[in-house]
């Protein structure tokens, strides 16, 4: 069984950016094989990582259901399950020290229960072959309960410096508990912090909600520059504020 890290929080707080930098750190330190899962319907971690993705799980699901609807047989006399397995392997994008799987859009029309069931079984099996599984989630937490039955070793909640964003991650923490998700530690990262120093109001909010703060990532102008010029964030200098902060957080995480 792999070591499972999931990242969640309100939209726009920096989940995808930080997940990308976290993966970069993980692969640099050669911690083991890594599977990255982009579980956001509005998938974009490939841009932060700087790799191309050919197809998403959502597209495969759509394609398989279209084939069936049109009464087309699967190529080479494959069964539906065999074909899904084959297509699943083709949708893995190979990065530098990791593989990336993009979930993509989750529902079209029609019923996908059967295909979803097989896909879930197969993605679960696939992820077991890796030492680390890192999931970039969409804003809510609801889909996590549907998409994974796996144990999450570290659930990283990303918030910006607003009280509302802190409240949002507190709700995600509460929801994870209500849903009885199997989670090791739930830790808070506050991102986009001016000068890297939290103000009193935000500290109070964190305390009020009894959130476990593991680190702070400064508001980094370089991220803005790289983003607007379309340069993958993983190429940020090692001594940039963001990478330095992520390095510090990763060492505190004490991954196995
Ligand atoms: N530490 C930071 N400093 C400056 N800008 C940041 C920082 N972290 C993220 N951003 C910017 O914030 C925006 C949202 O980030 P993103 O990672 O896409 O958030 P999410 O995945 O939570 O929706 C992006 O434009 C990104 O470049
Ligand atoms: Mg995102």
In a domain, 67, yes or no: no
Ligand 1 binding pocket (C-beta < 6 A) is: 9, 11-17, 191-192, 217, 219-220, 223-224, 227, 242
Q: Please write the tens of the pLDDT for every residue from 157-182.
A: 999 999 999 999 999 999 989 888 89
State the CATH number of the domain containing residue 205.
Answer: 3.40.50.300
pLDDT tens-digit readout, 3-52: 999 999 999 999 999 999 999 999 998 889 999 999 888 889 999 999 99
**Ligand 1 atom index nearest CA of 20:** 17
C-alpha–C-alpha distance, residues 106 and 56, integer Å = 10
What is the number of domains present in the chain? 1
Report d(CA 94, CA 18) in Å as an integer: 20
- The secondary structure element, H or E, covering residue 79 is none
- For residue 80, the CA-to-ligand 1 centroid distance in Å is 39
Residue-range definition of the domain harbouring residue 227: 3-49+92-105+131-253
Quick check: 33 and 95 in contact, CB under 8 A?
no
E strand map for 109-197: 132-136, 152-159, 183-193
Residue 178, helix vs strand vs coil: helix
Beta bridge partners of residue 193, listed in sequence order: 218
Tokens describing residue 185: 């530690």
Domain membership of residue 72 (yes or no) is no
Evaluate whether residue 121 is within a structural domain: no
Asked whether residue 21 is assigned to any structural domain, the reply reads yes
């Amino acid at each position: 069984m792999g070591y499972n890290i999931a990242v969640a929080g309100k939209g726009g707080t920096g989940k995808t950016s930080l997940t990308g930098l976290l993966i970069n750190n993980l692969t640099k330190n050669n911690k083991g094989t890594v599977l990255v899962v982009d579980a956001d319907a509005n998938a974009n971690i490939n841009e932060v990582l700087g790799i191309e993705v050919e197809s998403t799980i959502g597209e495969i699901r759509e394609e398989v259901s279209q084939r069936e609807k049109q009464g087309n047989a699967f190529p080479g006399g494959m069964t539906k399950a065999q074909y899904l397995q084959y297509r699943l392997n083709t949708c893995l994008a190979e990065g530098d020290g990791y593989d990336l799987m993009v979930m993509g859009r989750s529902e079209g029309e029609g019923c996908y229960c059967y295909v979803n069931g097989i896909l879930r079984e197969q993605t679960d099996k696939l992820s077991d072959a890796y030492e680390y599984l890192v999931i970039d989630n969409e804003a809510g937490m609801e889909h996590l309960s549907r998409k994974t039955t796996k144990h999450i070793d570290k659930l990283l909640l990303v918030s910006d410096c607003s009280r509302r964003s802190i409240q949002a991650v507190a709700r995600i923490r509460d929801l994870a508990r209500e849903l009885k998700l199997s989670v090791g530690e739930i830790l808070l990262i506050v991102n986009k912090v001016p000068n890297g120093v939290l103000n009193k109001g935000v500290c109070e909010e964190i305390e009020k909600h009894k959130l476990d703060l593991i680190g702070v990532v400064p508001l980094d102008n370089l991220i803005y520059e790289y983003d607007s010029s379309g340069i993958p964030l993983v190429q940020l200098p090692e001594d940039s504020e963001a990478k330095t902060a992520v390095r510090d957080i990763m060492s505190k995480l004490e991954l196995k």
